[in-house]
Each structure stands twice: as C-alpha cells, then as structure tokens.
Amino acid sequence: MDYQAKIATNVASIPRSGIRDFFELVQGRDDVISLGVGEPDFVTPWHIREAAIYSLEKGQTTYTSNLGLLSLRKSISRYVEDFFKVSYDAPTEVLVTVGVSEAIDIALRALLNPGDEVIYHEPCYVSYSPSIVMAHGVPVGVVTTKEDEFSLKPEKVAAAITPRTRIIFINFPTNPTGACASRADLEGIAKLAIEHDLIVMTDEIYSELRYDEEEPHLSIASLPGMKERTILLHGFSKAFAMTGFRLGYACAPQPIIEAMMKIHQYAMLCAPIMSQNAAIEALENGQPAMIAMRNSYHQRRDFLVKRLNEIGLDCHTPGGAFYVFPDIRSTGLSSKEFAMRLLEEENVACVPGSAFGPSGEGFLRCCYATAFDDIRTATDRIERFVGRL
Ligand code: PLP
C-alpha cells in the first residue's frame, strides 16, 4: 500500500521535531552531558508528588468534569489573579488541559478556519508552526533578532498583518532564546490586536522563571482592553518541575473556553485526576520550592552566560526561562554542524538553533536546567572544542 498517499496532506507536510531527531542520536552514547532537552533537572517537589499519591490512595481514579476539578479551577483563578493580575471566573473561564501542548492545539483548532493566518515570533518553540498547520491555518513567522534581544517588535507585527490574520501568538520568556518582552513592546502589540480585532494567544509557561527582579513578569492579558481578546496558556511543567504530570490550563473569555472545551471533551475527555490533585498542591503550597529552583537556575544562567562569552561565543543574558542562545557564527560552522561535532568530539549535547525555525540558524540552544557540575564540565568541553576549530 502507498501509505504516504493515505496520510493527510497537512500532516505529511510538517517535519518531525528537530529536537527529537537530534536526541535520538544522543541515546546510547555514554558520558554525554546534555544541555539539550528543555526539562527541569529537579524531581517534582515531594509534597506535590505526595498529593498525587494520596489521590490514588483515596481511590480517586475517576474522570473529572471535562473542564477539570472545580477546586483546581478555583486555585488556578486565584493564582492567575495574584500572579498575572487578571481575574477569571473559575466555573466558566478556565479549562484544565493535558499540558500547555494540548491547550495550544485546541485553542488553534477552536479559532482557525482553513487559510487563516497566525503571526508568531521566530525562533520559537518547535510545536507552534506545525500546530497551526495541523489546525489548517497558515503560519506567519516574524523573525526576531539578537540585536533586539529576540523581543518581538510591534512594527514587525504590523508589517505582517493581512486581512487573513486571526491570531498573534506570543511566548515570553521565550523558548529557545530566553527573551522577555518590554512593557512598550507588549503595549504596541496589544494596540495592534485591538485595532485589527485580533485574538492574542500568550504561552506563559516560563513566566515564573524571570531572574531580574527590577522587571517583574508582565502578561499581555493584563493590559487594558486585552483580557477580552486574549487566551492565556499556562501549566505546571517548568516552574513546578512537573513535566510528567502533563497538566496545563487555558484562561479566556467564556465563549472561547466553551469552544475549546468541545474539542477537549471529544479528544481528551479530561486531564488525569491525580495530576489535577497534585496541581492544587503546587498552586497552594508550591511557592517555596519553586523559588528555590528558580534561584538555582539564576546562578546557573549567570555562570553559563559568563563562560560562553569567555569562550568567544557571543551570548546575551536572557531574562527568563532556562535557555541561553549563543551566537556561533564566528566559528564558521552551521548550527547543525556545530551541534553534531560537539556531540561526536566532546560528548556535549546542545540543540542546533535551526530546530527552532530558519532564523535560529547561527545559534545554539543550551538548556541550563542541568546540574551545576555538568554545566561546568560542558563549558570546559565546549571551550576545548571551539579552541580546536
Ligand atoms: N510551550 C513552550 C514554550 C515550551 O517550551 C514547552 C515545552 O518545552 C511547552 C509549551 C509544552 O509544555 P507542556 O509540558 O505543558 O505541554
């Protein structure tokens, strides 16, 4: 059978994730230090794991409401109001999802008609463009540059808007660059969204992981006139080190949540109940552990940025997330060549910038959610490698 002819054309057209492809090469090699996968090296704090265990012990093994446990949605609503300064009605404006990944997928599917355009900034998280294509939309990547510290400039967004634009999709702090947007840039993007009557999707998954206290995190959802046109996406994977729990949420006006819920109830039914119980514990009592993890990432960020610059790989200091994005163009290698040779010659795994879109070429993503000693050894190995080039 010609299986390729049986696969839907939009699915056939999307590439596999460049990160996964690269990490298949890492499997089976000994002594590899990985600055690769974007996952906390911490185990989920014990009291959060315990809440999941208690949930099982108490025999809570059922489906929940499609929207998620109301007690969790109330916790989310309180937390979001406190942290993002936006208030959402727990029964009608919050949907619990299987990670931010699912929330992105169902938000796009709920809003896009075939051919509708979605503007997003690039380099970006690997799922954005394929998720738009899978929802029959058209991805419109706007390139962000090192000179702008990888923030998204409103004038570039304005130039990308067409009559088919439906959504502006942003992610600050950004994977893979760690970029944060200034208030002025967010205000400029908000103004455009209002003028052109667009929806904004904001992936806030790294929002707790901001390191420069003079600039607390600001969500576009909290700007005047924006709550009514914003879908705020957030989750537990990064700040609470809960990737395996697969839990996230969307906050948005009721009609949008209702539309997303329809897809969620048929595709997913609900998020796992033990993860939902663990998430309540994370929101209610998880701050001290989260802050301790953030402090540790902060130290590692400072060390890694300093070392990469000493080595001669120009690296801006990213304001958030747990990635640095050094410029490797001075070595004359492509990002893929650099990453492959670094892996083969020095057993250090980093992700080629090109995995995050064509504009990531010339850069490397290094994740510092890795033990401090490993970061130290990895930078020594990178220094040896660059010295030989
Ligand atoms: N959004 C961004 C920007 C990410 O970096 C990731 C994971 O790396 C996700 C979403 C996926 O998050 P989740 O584990 O909640 O599905």
Least confident residue range of 23-27, 66-70, 209-213: 23-27
For residues 350 and 379, what is the distance between their CA atoms, to the nearest angstrom? Answer: 11
Residue 259 CB contacts under 8 Å (≥ 6 apart), including other chains: 110, 111
Q: Do domains 3-44+288-388 and 46-285 have the same CATH topology?
A: no
Residue in the structure block whose two tokens are 């970029």:
179
**What pLDDT sits at residue 108?**
98
Q: Where does the pLDDT of residue 135 fall: very low under 50, low under 70, confident under 90, or very high at 90 and above? A: very high
Element (H, E) at 118: strand 117-122
Give the orientation angle of helix 372-388 with respect to helix 335-346, to 10 degrees: 110
Ligand 1, residue 246: give the atom nearest the CA.
14
Residue in the structure block whose two tokens are 């600050």:
172
In angstroms, what is the span from residue 159 Cα to ligand 1's centroid? 28
For residues 10 and 254, what is the distance between their CA atoms, to the nearest angstrom? Answer: 30
Q: Which of 87, 151, 159 is nearest to 122 (CA)?
A: 151
**What pLDDT sits at residue 361?**
96
CATH architecture classification, 46-285: 3-Layer(aba) Sandwich (3.40)
- Quote the pTM value: 0.96
What CATH fold (topology level) applies to the domain 3-44+288-388? Aspartate Aminotransferase, domain 1 (3.90.1150)
Q: Where does the pLDDT of residue 277 fall: very low under 50, low under 70, confident under 90, or very high at 90 and above? A: very high
Ligand 1 pocket mutation pick from 44, 100, 236, 247 by most atoms within 8 angstroms of CB: 100
Q: Where are the domains of the chain?
A: 3-44+288-388, 46-285
Query: Does position 37 have pLDDT exceeding 90, yes or no?
Result: no
In angstroms, what is the span from residue 177 Cα to ligand 1's centroid? 14
In angstroms, what is the span from residue 248 Cα to ligand 1's centroid? 9
With vertex at residue 69, the alpha carbon angle to CA 66 and CA 71, rounded to the nearest 5 degrees, is 150
- Report the pLDDT averaged over residues 130-150: 96
Query: Does position 268 have pLDDT exceeding 90, yes or no?
Result: yes
For residues 64 and 60, what is the distance between their CA atoms, to the nearest angstrom? Answer: 10
What is the total residue count of the chain?
389
For residues 191 and 100, what is the distance between their CA atoms, to the nearest angstrom? Answer: 26
Ligand 1, residue 247: give the atom nearest the CA.
15
**What pLDDT sits at residue 170?**
98
Ligand 1 binding site (Cβ under 6 Å of any ligand atom): 38, 99-101, 125, 171, 175, 203, 205, 235, 237, 243, 248
Query: Does position 137 have pLDDT exceeding 90, yes or no?
Result: yes
**What pLDDT sits at residue 216?**
85
Q: Which residues pair with 349 in a beta bridge?
A: 34
* Segment 245-264, tens digit of pLDDT: 999 999 999 999 999 999 99
Least confident residue range of 31-45, 162-176, 183-197, 297-311: 31-45
**What pLDDT sits at residue 25?**
75
In angstroms, what is the span from residue 369 Cα to ligand 1's centroid? 14
- Report the pLDDT averaged over residues 194-210: 98
| Token representation of residue 141 | 């990547």
Least confident residue range of 5-19, 154-168, 197-211, 340-354: 5-19
Query: Does position 23 have pLDDT exceeding 90, yes or no?
Result: no
Three-state DSSP at 234 gives strand
**For strand 165-170 and strand 348-349, is the pairing parallel, antiparallel, or unpaired?**
unpaired
* Segment 148-168, tens digit of pLDDT: 999 999 999 999 999 999 999
In angstroms, what is the span from residue 332 Cα to ligand 1's centroid? 31
